[in-house]
Structure 1
Amino acid sequence: MTKRKILIVGLVLALLGIVAPASAHAQPARPCEDLPPGTPSFVVCTWLATPEEAAEIARFWLGNDGENMKAADPNPGKFGVCEGITCNTEGDGVAHEIGDPDVPEATDDEGKPECAQGETCYTDPDEISQADVEKAALTPAGQSTKNATGTGLRTWIDTELSDDWKNGKLAEAVKRVGALAAQPGVVGIRFATQLGYDSRAFASAEELEKFVTETSAALREALPGKKLAVHTVLPVLGCGADEACKGELAKKYPLLNPDAFGAFLAKSLIDQLGLDNGHLATEYAAWKIDAVTAQRNQSIEIRAKSWDAYGHIAAEDATFTAAGSSALTEEQATKAITERVVAPLQSDAAESVVLWTRWQAADGTVHRVLGEKLADNATWGQLRKLAAVKPRLATIYDPATPEVDVTSDLKKLAEVFGQVYLRAE
C-alpha cells in the first residue's frame, strides 16, 4: 500500500472515530503554522491526528490483510433474539419485505397508528396540517391576509382566545386561528386584548397567568417561529411618584400588576406587549395628573423596568378617530401626533405605535380617522408625513366590516402604516 493511500485511509478512519487502542487519541492543542503576523496568542490548532499518526492508524487496521478490522466487534444494535425458526421480536412474528403493507393495528413509538401503504396516514387532530392552511387561505380572513401582505404590510392575526381557554376549547381555537397565522407573510398572533382590565374575566392573577402560560405553550407548539402578543392597560404606570394614585389604582385593577406582565416578557411567554393609552386623559383627574404627564410617567416606568430587553413594547391609541371622521385641523393633528405617536417613540417607551383608524360603537356609529369611503382629510395628511417611522406604525383592521372593500381599504392603510393587525374570530 502506498504512503498516500495509507494517509488517506488513516484520515478517514480518524474522522470516523476509529482509532487504535493505544496511540491514536485526539491530540492536545499544538502551535499553528503559517498564521499571519499579529494573530492573537490564544489561537491554537487542535488536531485529531497528525499525518504520521494517521498512517499508524491505517497500518493498525489494515495490517495482516485487515485482521484487526475483521476481529473488531460491531456497534451493538437493537436486534431480535431468534431461537430456531421462531424470532422473538415485536410484530406479528412473520418476516416482511421492504415495501410490504404494515402490520394491522401497528403503532409507532408514541402509540400512534402507523401509516400503511395505500391507506390514509394518521394525523393528530390538534396539529395544523397543510390542508388546514390551504383551506384557511380560501376564507375571507385568509384572502384579507393575502391582500395585506401583498401591500407590503407586516401582518398579525388579532384574536381573543380567553373564552376558548375557559371553555376548554383552546386546542380547537389554536388550530383555527393558527391556520390563518401560518399563511405566508404573517408575523404572529395577538391572542388577548385588554387582558386583565375586566377583573370578571379571570377570577385571580393566578388564573390569568395560567391562561397566558397555557395559551402561549399551545401556540408555540403549533406555530414555531411565530411572534406572540397580548394587549392590556396598566394604569398604575401613569401615576409616577404619587403613592396615593398607585395604591388606589392597584385596588381598582387588581389583575393589572405591571410586574406580572413584565414576567410574561421575561419568561418569553409573549414577544410583544401592547399598552393602551386610552385611559390617560381621564384616569388621573383625582390626582391632577393630565394626559401628557401620565404619558411621561408611563414612559419613565417602562424604561426603568427595561422591558425592551425582553420583548417589544407597543403603544396603542384610538384618540385620532371620531364619529363620522376625524375633525382635527392640521395644527391639532400635529399636536396629537407629537403627544401620542412621536413622544412614546422618542422616549424609548415603545418600539411601535398602534393607531385605531376605524371602529363601530354599540349604537352603530362608525368612528373613523379618514372620511367616508376613504376620503382624505387633515389628520390623514399629517399622518402620511410620518414616512420616516412608517415601519413602526400599525393599525387594526376588521375585514368583516370594510369601509369600501378589503383590497381598497388595505391599500389605503398602507399609505401610512407598515403593520396591520387583522381581526379574526
Structure 2
Amino acid sequence: MRLRLRRTVAAGSMLALLGAVAPAAAAYAQDDPRSCRDLLTADAPAYVQCHWLATPDEALGVALFWGANDNANLKEATPYPGQFIDCSAPGSSCPTPPDGGAEGDENSPLPEDAEDGGAPECETGGDRCAVDGHDQGGDGTDNGSETGTGARTTVAAQTTAARSGTARPATAEEVAAAAQTPAGRAVTTAKGTGLRVWLDTELADDWKAGEEAFAAAVKRIGALAARPEVAGIRFSTQLGYDTTFTTHEEITAFVAAASAALRQAAPGKQLGVHTVVPEFACGAVEECKTEMARRYPLLAPERIESYLSTGAVDQLTLDGGLLRGGYTAWRIDAGTAQRNQSIQLRARAWDVLAQIAAEETGLVGEVAAEEVAERVAAPLRDGGAQQVNLWTRLQDAQGGVKHLTAWDALKKLSPLQRRMAAVYDPAAPGTDAAADLKRIAEVFGQVYLTVA
C-alpha cells in the first residue's frame, strides 16, 4: 500500500515525457560529418546510428603517415611511457606480500580471517581493523571522522546483520510458501506467458522502521525472488526525489544495506533502483543546472553515480516525468531535454556501470499512435537507455485512474519487444491478472510486478 500511495503522489507531481521527432534524428545524421548511416540498409530503424571512429580519408592519412619513407615513422616509434616501477632497480620500494601470500584471494577486500564474508576479529591492545571499508577500534566502534556518522553506523549494523544470518537464502519451504501467495501466483502466471519477471517493491520505509521490520521485508522479498522465474528486484522508487530521505549519507546507507541484504537473501538476482537526475536535461544551460542543483540536492549526478560505482545496484531506471514542461523556464522543450539527458548518460558511460532504463508514465489514457512510438523509441535511439518501462495503470493524486490503451500502437513496435517492460500491479488488475499478463506478453518482453 505504501508503494502504491507513493507512486500516486509521484505521478501527480511529475509530468510525462515528450520525445524527439524521428525526422529530426535523421536530419542530424545527415549533417554529422562523422555519420556513416548511409552505409546502413534502407530498412534500418531510425534508432540505429553509425559513426566513424576515423573516416575513410582520415584512415588513409594514418596509413600513409606510418608507411611513408619505408616505414620510417613506425621504426622510430617507441612504446608509450607508462607508470611502472622496476622493483629490482636500486632505490625502488615495492610492497612485499606477507608470509603465506599465496593463500587466499588476492582480489578479495576482506582480510583472510574474515570467514564467509564476516568481520575479522580485532586484536586486543587497541589495534585497529577494517570492516566494510571503515576503520574499527578494538571494541568494534567506527572511528571515522566524516559527516553522517549515524547513517554509517546504521549501514554497518544492517550489513553486519545481513552477513551474520539476519539475511540468508530462503529455505525450500519458504520459497514454496511464497509461491502460494497472490504475488507468487502472479510470478508463476507471468513466467508462463514468456515474460521476464522483475519484482518491484519499496524497502526504504522498512529500513527506516528499524532492523526488525527491514529484516522481515527482506526475508519476504527474498523468498519470492529466490525462484528461478525472477530475474531481479527493484527495491526503491523515486529514490532521493520524494521526502523519505533528507541526506545523501542516509540514502547511501540504505542502498548499501538493502543491496547487501538482498544479495544474501536472493543470491544471483539483479538489483535496481528508480530515480531521476534533473540536471541532465539542462544541457549546457548553466542557470538551469544551478537551479536544479538547488531544488534537488540529493539527485546530483555524482551522488547517483556513487550507487553505481560501488556495485550496489545493477540497473538504474531514470524517470522521464520532468522532461515535459519541467524546463520551459529555460526554453528547453521536451525533445531537447531528452537529447540532453541521453548525451550526459553517454558521456558519463553509466551503461558501463549498470544497465540504464527509461521509465514512461505518460502513455496511459488516450495517446496518438505516433506519440506512443516516439516516446518509446527516443531513449533507445539516442543511446540513453537499454530498455523502456511503461506503466500500465496510473492513479493521480485525486484518485482518478487511467489505463494503458495504446496496445495496437505498441504491437507495431515488435522489434523493440525485448527492450520494453510493463510496470504492472497484480493487486489492481484491469480485468484479472491472468488475462492482463497474457495481453502484456503480446507486446512486452518483461514485466515489473508490484509487490507491497
TM-score range, shorter chain: 0.5 to 0.7
Q: 1:135-193 CA deviation, whole Å, 9 max, x = no partner?
A: 11001100000000110110000000001111112211110111111123100100000
Alignment of structure 1 residues 209-358 onto 2, 5 Å: 209-322=252-365, 326=366, 328=367, 332-338=368-374, 340-358=375-393
Aligned: 1:181 with 2:233: no
Q: Is the 8 A contact 2:167 2:261 kept in 1?
A: no
Corresponding letter in the other structure for 1:313: I
Corresponding residue for residue 159 of structure 1: 201
Q: Is the 8 A contact 1:195 1:231 kept in 2?
A: yes
Distance 2:314 2:205 in 1: 21
Distance 1:143 1:364 in 2: 28
Distance 1:268 1:216 in 2: 9
Distance 1:257 1:235 in 2: 8
- Give the aligned length: 286
Q: Is the 8 A contact 2:361 2:391 kept in 1?
A: yes
Q: Is the 8 A contact 1:229 1:272 kept in 2?
A: yes
Backbone CA RMSD of aligned residues: 1.4
Change (3 A) 1:215 1:125: closer
Corresponding letter in the other structure for 1:391: R
CA apart distance, 1:283: 1.1
CA apart distance, 1:336: 3.8
Q: 1:344-389 CA deviation, whole Å, 9 max, x = no partner?
A: 111211000001121223443221122xxxxxxxx32111011111
Distance 1:230 1:211 in 2: 12
Distance 1:411 1:227 in 2: 24
- Structure 1's unaligned 5+ residue stretches are 1-122, 371-378
SS of equivalent residue, structure 2 residue 430: coil
Q: What is the TM-score with the length of structure 2 in the denominator? A: 0.62
CA apart distance, 1:129: 1.6
Distance 1:226 1:355 in 2: 22
Corresponding residue for residue 364 of structure 1: 399
Change (3 A) 1:240 1:150: same
Distance 1:361 1:203 in 2: 25
Distance 1:248 1:365 in 2: 32
SS of equivalent residue, structure 1 residue 313: strand
SS of equivalent residue, structure 2 residue 272: strand
Distance 1:203 1:137 in 2: 36
Corresponding letter in the other structure for 2:359: E
Corresponding residue for residue 381 of structure 1: 408
Alignment of structure 1 residues 74-153 onto 2, 5 Å: 126-127=167-168, 128-153=170-195
Distance 1:350 1:416 in 2: 19
Q: What is the TM-score with the length of structure 1 in the denominator? A: 0.66
CA apart distance, 1:203: 2.3
CA apart distance, 1:124: 5.6
Distance 1:136 1:182 in 2: 10
Q: Is the 8 A contact 1:265 1:311 kept in 2?
A: yes
Aligned: 1:408 with 2:452: no
Q: Is the 8 A contact 1:229 1:273 kept in 2?
A: yes
Corresponding residue for residue 41 of structure 2: none
Higher Cα Rg: structure 1 or 2?
A: 1
Q: Is the 8 A contact 2:223 2:266 kept in 1?
A: no
Distance 1:277 1:294 in 2: 10
Q: 1:225-245 CA deviation, whole Å, 9 max, x = no partner?
A: 100000001111000000110
- Structure 2's unaligned 5+ residue stretches are 1-163
Q: Is the 8 A contact 2:372 2:409 kept in 1?
A: no
Decide which structure has greater helix share.
2
Distance 2:216 2:412 in 1: 43
Corresponding letter in the other structure for 1:392: R
Greater than 6 Å deviation, 4+ residue runs: none
SS of equivalent residue, structure 2 residue 244: coil
Q: 1:306-351 CA deviation, whole Å, 9 max, x = no partner?
A: 01111100000011112xxx2x3xxx3213422x211211121100
Change (3 A) 1:307 1:251: same
Change (3 A) 1:124 1:216: closer
Q: Is the 8 A contact 2:166 2:215 kept in 1?
A: no
Q: 1:63-100 CA deviation, whole Å, 9 max, x = no partner?
A: xxxxxxxxxxxxxxxxxxxxxxxxxxxxxxxxxxxxxx
Q: Is the 8 A contact 1:142 1:183 kept in 2?
A: no
Corresponding letter in the other structure for 2:383: D
Corresponding letter in the other structure for 1:366: V
Q: 1:257-301 CA deviation, whole Å, 9 max, x = no partner?
A: 112222212211000000000111121111111111000000000
Distance 2:165 2:307 in 1: 29
- Report which structure shows greater RCO (CA 8 Å, sep ≥6): 2
Q: Is the 8 A contact 1:145 1:183 kept in 2?
A: no
SS of equivalent residue, structure 2 residue 311: coil
Change (3 A) 1:310 1:125: closer
Q: Is the 8 A contact 2:197 2:446 kept in 1?
A: yes
SS of equivalent residue, structure 1 residue 250: helix
CA apart distance, 1:216: 0.5
SS of equivalent residue, structure 2 residue 299: coil
Distance 2:324 2:397 in 1: 22
Distance 2:303 2:248 in 1: 8
Aligned: 1:420 with 2:440: no
SS of equivalent residue, structure 1 residue 279: helix
Distance 1:292 1:406 in 2: 35
